[in-house]
Amino acid sequence: MKLFITGRRLLRGRLFTPPSVLNDAKIKLFRVMKLTALIALIACMHVSANSFSQTISLSVRKVPLESILTEIMRQAGVSIIYNDTLLNNKPAVSLHVKDATLQEALDKCLANLDLAFTVKGRNIILRQKDHNMPAPPKPAADTAAPVIITGSVLNEKGEPMPGITVRLKGTSRGAISDTSGRFNIPVSNKEDSLIFTFLGYKPKVVSAGNAKNTIIRLEPDDNSKMREVVVVGYGTQKKVSLTSAVGIISAEDLSKRVVNNTQQSLQGLSPGMTVLDQGGAPGRASVTMRIRGITTLSGNNPLILVDGIEQGINNLNPDDIENVSILKDAAATSIYGSRAATGVVLITTRRAKEGQINVAYNGYYAIQQLGNHPQGMTTEQYMRQQNVAYVNAGQAAPYTEDYIKEYISSSDKIKYPEANVWYDVLYKKAPQYNNNFTLSGGSKQFKALMDIRYMKQEGITDKFSNDVREVRLNTDFIPSDKFKFSVDADYRMLYSTQPQDAANVFYNTLHGAQFVTPRYPDGGYGVSAQGNNPLISRDLSGYDNDYYNQFTANLQGSWNIVKGLTFSTQYGVVSTNDRTKVFKAAYAVVDENYPSRTKTVATNSLTEGRSNGYTETLNSLLQYKLTLGKHNFSLLGGYSQIYTNTNSLTGFRNTFYNNDIQALSAGAASSKDNSGSDAIAGLRSYFTRFNYNFNDKYLLELNGRYDGSSNFTGDNLYSFFPSFSAGWRLSQEKFWRPLSYLIPEFKLRGSYGRTGNQTVSAYSFYESLTTLNYNFNGTAATGYALLDYANTAIAWETTTQTDLGFDATILHNKLDVVFDYYNKKTTGILLSLAIPGAIGLNTPVQNAGVVSNKGWELGLNYHDHSHPVQYAINFNISNNINKVVDLAGTGPYITGSTNDGLYANQVGLPIGVLWGFKTKGLYKDADDVKNSAKYDNNTYPGDLKYVDLNGDGKISADDRTMIGDPFPHYTFGFTSSLQYKNFDFYLFIQGAIKQDARVSGAFADAGNNQGFVIDIENDYWTPENPNARFARPQKFTDKNAQISDFWVVKMGYARVKNLQLGYTLPASVLQHLKIKKARLYLSGSNLFTFSQANEWGIDPEFPTGRGNYYPQTKTFTFGANINF
């Protein structure tokens, strides 16, 4: 095979074969690393202005020979022919020449490489110096000689187009047009077809015979990446012109996930966004979302807007979503001002397309089951461990050897219940199903989309369930080219239920006594000595019902006043109503085997709540766009006003006649208790955005928002939040053309700006009065006391952020690369700073804290649809390091408890670090105990050895320090999709690196209260096992369960979130059924998790390691997507 180099590019074919880096069919991603050397080469060389000059000037050191030959060819304007194996194993070359002839440059370049060359006109033929090599075979007599086809390529304006890819159809042979748009390519015969392609233009196929000495005109492709638009604040922008950091998630990305919560569907799909799925009962899922780390000490949730209106999205139908934009840097978020410090999520819902009415059905049926969970000791192991624990506490062992043998050999599990069986008893497989119907279509003047959804999820333990019903109607009315209107409405109705004592269902799974009969044959319940049985909490405690309704109306209109000038307005209403009813039932349970063990709730009670929310949003925009030659201008000005009213009411009574009467009026009047609240808030804003770009090459954007919030007063009522960003598309520069074949699109961008946080307590600038009871001469009276100080100086928390990044498209437009580095600092964080006690008021909050976040983000998206097997691969990874910079001389601030974990905010450390003791293994012997600081005087060999950090000879709270960080330092996501004929495959893996959790509760208690003991703790210290992993068990003390780094587990993980296999039925099968398209699929969610947390059986996404929570489920799904 031979290599033909022309213009600036490498060509492959049967006659002319390039290096494998340019072979589309066999491309390997690791070759991208050669780009570094190539860029270095271009940067350091002197490039001649005349591309056909015969003099060569360049100075490079130790770069690939292929790169040097490419640059010599580029400067000399020649072609090179050689066998591609000639460059195999050739060392890197250094070359320093100035104004050298082609002959001189090649002589010096190839001097030590055992290569020679021959110049024939404008062709250079490389060969081995050894002339004894066999000559290449002569072509057969009937083989036609190659024909060189030449021509020019112009754009829609008649301008020459350099860098156009010209390929011979059916082969990988190709060429690239030069600076004048001219090309030449060898073909075997004139009947061959040539394909002309370029980013942003429609491909064009021309017969080789018709292409000779002719002009090829390419037309813009409105659907190309060059014209891909991104939803940003109050509008859209072309992706190539974007100068801010915006993550993009498409409907296709979301459609592969089978989830119950929209936030869950966003997990792992965009760098810089951390989503932790922390389980949760049906309808009450717990999902934490963070954008670029933890920005403040409280209130870190991002602003979420659906079609421009702020609202919750937990129960938004994922099938309604068209795309999602994640706004991350200040340039993208500052236009939302005081609500944007923690990032912004913009969700755009689907709209109808012009055409006949389309009916679609998306549905699935799924089976949920318990995933990874703690594995307990066997009954025998548990009994022996308990014996040791009692002896270590100075008491007799409760189980004799004979009793242990009798117990474990018996088949009567009513009399001899097994230990650690609650997970087997409590959980089951449970169904979940979803049905979604969509009707859409219409004319150019009127289009409408209606979406109807019903979803039902049963819990994997009884008494838990969730129902979701939703109807959406999106309409568009376009009476003329000047006016456009849309009216959207969405109604959601949710009902979820769980036991009244749901928390103890999971708590008692681990903390209930282990030797208890869960259920007797007659339906009765066993009871532990502590009165525990998770089945009692589940089945008899009553219910906790939640009825939630949300209605959203969104009206928008626009008027094209004159060319380039558009006025638009939006009015939105979100109305919510949440009704809760919690009935605590009265009951009495007696254990049949142990009548002295009882569980009694003597008094029943009922709590009902009502909460309502009402939000109005008004946005009005005026935008002007102007193009003057290559200068493009856009100016946006806007006004926004948001009004919010919330109120709540709660009523309580107890002592009902029986559990069947569940109306508040039936409870004892003497027990009634009522409470309520009412609040109004407002936000008034003015904002602007200015964009300028020169020839889509040099890009500039300025943003600003002036916010006024009812949460502040005086000089702090309003604040201004500006930003600046700029971009440079290097790929549009002439000097980039040598790289345009490998990297057709490359853009540098940077931004700087400021955003705010207004989430402070309402009316904190007023004194507040608190009701108190007083006694006047023995008579009770109610009065008011001033307890809270009015802080009129309270102001916005302010976040300043710098971002530097680049966007690149490489490898024939198949690989998109996005990289960002950011540095943001939040000042004025609210802290409760001490005031003199003589004032007699509660400590007020003040703007005093400072927090910093630094990190980087990388996104890679590779796709290839040119082969029978079409595939796409996406990988993203993010790094975030946050730190408390200043606490105004105070701290550490400790929150939490010794049971569930202590968390600290301390200067110099990340936010919310785990706080506890350092340990140094176990005490080895009596001398070790004697010569070391001790937690208490009842310390023996085999106990945990805590480190005396302050050196005062004792272990106390003063020795606590940072022992871990629960927020992940790195998060990543990986997706891979394949399609072959009618089959498709999808894989999604998500994970986190460098995050910690402290295991606690039953995991650290070691059965101290007859609770659950995990199997790995069977390796405990005894004199016969001095090198054990765990401390000696001991009853009636928690000294070895103290919060320490011994119980900190590395919670990094990689989880197979979704695995899906689909099949699209052939059209021949569907045509008689009046079905346009039908796809069936099988899917599995949360199938595998790779983590150190697995041995503990706890979920690495959950913030604590206590284990008493409704678990994430493993789900198997069968689904169908049908278009009628």
Predicted confidence at residue 780, as pLDDT, reads 79
- Give the tokens for residue 643: 């009004």
What pLDDT band is residue 141 in, cutting at 50, 70 and 90?
very low
Instruction: List the domain boundaries for the chain.
Output: 3-137, 430-777+799-917+966-1000+1043-1123, 922-959
Max CA distance (Å), the chain: 126
Over the Cα atoms of the chain, what is R_g? 35
Q: CA-to-CA distance for 536 and 504, rounded, in angstroms? A: 9
Indicate the range of 71-75, 634-638, 717-721, 949-953 predicted with least confidence: 71-75
Predicted pLDDT at 584: 97
pLDDT at 38: 39
Give 629's contacts (C-beta < 8 A, 6+ positions apart): none
Task: Tell me how crowded residue 965 is: count the other CB atoms within 10 A of its CB.
Answer: 20
Poorest-pLDDT segment among 173-187, 561-575, 651-665: 173-187
Convert the pLDDT of each residue in 787-840 to its tens digit: 777 778 888 899 999 999 999 998 878 899 999 999 999 999 988 777 776 667
> What pLDDT is stored for residue 607 in this prediction?
97
Residue 916, pLDDT > 90, answer yes
Model confidence at 1043: pLDDT above 50 = yes
Return d(Cα 212, Cα 151) in angstroms, integer.
6
For the domain covering 3-137, report its CATH number.
3.55.50.30
User: How would DSSP label each residue in 815-862?
Assistant: EEEEEEEEEEEEEEEEEE----GGG-SBPPEEEEEEEEEEEEEEEEEE
Between these two residues, 987 and 419, which has the higher pLDDT value?
A: 987
Q: Name 1035's Cβ contacts closer than 8 Å, sequence gap at least 6.
A: 389, 390, 392, 393, 395, 1008
pLDDT on residue 104: 83
- Position 740 scores a pLDDT of 79
Q: 689, 711, 702, 719: which is closest to 642 by C-alpha?
A: 711
- The pLDDT value given to residue 33: 34
Residue 172 sits at φ, ψ, to 5 deg, of: -105, 15
What value does the mean pLDDT take over residues 660-664?
93
Contact (CB, 8 A) for 347 and 307: yes
- Separation between Cα atoms, residue 37 and residue 74, nearest integer Å: 17
CATH number for the segment(s) 430-777+799-917+966-1000+1043-1123:
2.40.170.20
Is the pTM higher than 0.85? The answer reads: no
Please classify residue 368 by burial: count the beta carbons closer than 10 Å to its beta carbon, then call 0-12 exposed, 13-18 middle and 19+ buried: buried
β-strands 797-810, 869-886: how paired? unpaired
What are 910's strand-pairing partners? none
Range from 70-74, 715-719, 977-981 carrying the lowest mean pLDDT: 70-74
Q: Which of 530 and 80 is assigned the larger pLDDT? A: 530
Q: Specify the pLDDT at position 46.
A: 34
**Residue that wins the pLDDT comparison between 430 and 93:** 430
Residue 805 has a pLDDT of: 96
Please answer whether residues 177 and 155 qualify as being in contact, where contact means their C-beta atoms are separated by less than 8 angstroms. Answer: no
Mean pLDDT of the chain: 86
Give residues with Cβ within 8 angstroms of 937, minimum separation 6: none
For residue 20, pLDDT over 60 is answered with: no
Residue 867 has pLDDT above 80, yes or no: no
pLDDT tops 90 at residue 493: yes
- SS3 for 279-291 is CCCCCCCCEEEEE
Phi, psi (degrees; rounded to nearest 5) at 783: -135, -175
- Are 3-137 and 430-777+799-917+966-1000+1043-1123 equal in CATH topology? no
CA-closest candidate to residue 90, choices 72, 63, 70: 63
Distance CA 347, CA 235 (A): 12
- Do residues 796 and 757 lie in contact, with contact meaning Cβ atoms separated by under 8 Å? yes
Q: Dump pLDDT digits (tens) for 539-598.
A: 999 999 999 999 999 999 999 999 999 999 999 999 999 999 999 999 999 999 899 999
Percent of the chain past pLDDT 90, that is, above it, reads: 57
| pLDDT the model gives residue 126 | 77
832 strand-pairing partners: 845
Long-range contacts of 123-130 (CB under 8 A, 24+ apart): 123/78, 123/79, 123/80, 123/81, 124/73, 124/78, 124/79, 124/80, 124/81, 125/80, 125/81, 125/82, 126/80, 126/81, 126/82, 126/83, 126/86, 127/82, 127/86, 128/86
pLDDT at 838: 67
The string of pLDDT tens digits covering residues 264-318 is: 889 999 999 998 887 778 988 878 899 999 988 877 889 999 999 999 887 889 8
CB 237 within 8 A of CB 230: yes
Backbone φ and ψ of 236, nearest 5°: -135, 160
Q: How far is CA 702 from CA 232, 623, 627, 771, in A?
A: 14, 14, 18, 50
Q: Residues 510-513: contacts with CB within 8 Å, 24+ apart?
A: 510/374, 510/422, 510/1001, 510/1002, 510/1003, 510/1011, 510/1012, 510/1107, 510/1108, 511/1001, 511/1002, 511/1009, 511/1011, 511/1012, 511/1108, 512/422, 512/1011, 512/1012, 513/1009, 513/1010, 513/1011
C-alpha 553 chain-centroid distance: 29
Helix (H, G, I), strand (E, B) or coil at 929: helix
Contact 203, 196 (CB under 8 A): yes
Tokens of 877: 């990874």
How sure is the predictor about 197, in pLDDT bands with cuts at 50, 70 and 90? confident
pLDDT above 60: residue 44: no
Hey, which residues does 1059 pair with through a beta bridge?
Answer: 987, 1084
Q: What percent of the chain has pLDDT over 70?
A: 90
SS3 content of the chain, % helix, strand, coil (to 5): 15, 50, 35
Q: How large is the average pLDDT for residues 1029-1053?
A: 94
Geometric angle at alpha carbon 1013, from 1012 and 1019, rounded to 5°: 175
pLDDT tens profile 607-617: 999 999 999 99
* Dist. CA 753–CA 332, nearest whole Å: 9
Rounded to an integer, the average pLDDT of 931-959 is 93
pLDDT at residue 253 in the model: 85
For residue 689, give both structure tokens: 């955005």
Contact 530, 592 (CB under 8 A): no
Decide: 1016 and 1003 in contact? Cβ < 8 Å. Answer: no
| Res 142 pLDDT > 80 | no
Per-residue pLDDT at 278 = 75
What number is the average pLDDT over the span 661-686? 94
Q: What is the pLDDT of residue 587?
A: 96
> What pLDDT is attached to residue 459?
95
